[in-house]
A = this chain, B = another copy of it.
Amino acid sequence: MDLTLTPIGVVKNTIKEPGRHEQQAVVSEIIVHEDLKEALDRIEEFSHIVVIYWMHKITPSRRLTLKVHPMGKQDLSLVGIFSSRSPARPNPIGIITVKLLEHRDNVLKVTGLDAVDGTPVLDIKPYIPGYDSPTKAETPSWITKQR
């Protein structure tokens, strides 16, 4: 089975290095390929969208990581990579829900995107409460404490 991805667009913003940023403050543009422009029709009717992207700064060797300290904090015990949002994963797919400010032609303007400038975008989905957000979610204390 061929599991090859084709970027549908690219991120344009001022974030040059991965890491913690004041992402809520940064306005990013998602430039969708011209021939996919129609696929954005009526997306401005949603306040939020889910952006799926390829974390292209993750080297192949980092994709072998199995355990990490949550949020890079050495004093927190190791957890499995699938129990973490760390980018160093077998398939470096990033997913984030962002606020959609503007849709013009093949360009979306958003805030809240944590991807660096030049990141290949794989998919865009409308954010639908209920579908994407369970009503009663519980997280371990090491998550709650850090947020």
Within 89-144 of A, Cβ neighbours of B (below 8 Å) are at 89-91, 93, 95-97, 99, 120, 122-134, 136-140, 143
Q: Which residues of B contact A78 (CB under 8 A)?
A: 41
Q: Which of B6, B43, B97, B136 sits near A82, CB closer than 8 Å?
A: B43
A interface residues, how many (CB within 8 angstroms): 63
User: Within the oligomer, what is the number of copies of this chain?
Assistant: 2
Q: What CA separation (Å) do A42 and B5 show in the bound complex?
A: 30
Known A123-B91, A129-B133, A140-B45; judge A5-B3 contact (CB<8 A).
Answer: yes
B41–A140 touching, CB < 8 Å: no
A126 to chain B, nearest CB (A): 6
> Any chain B CB within 8 A of the CB of A21?
no
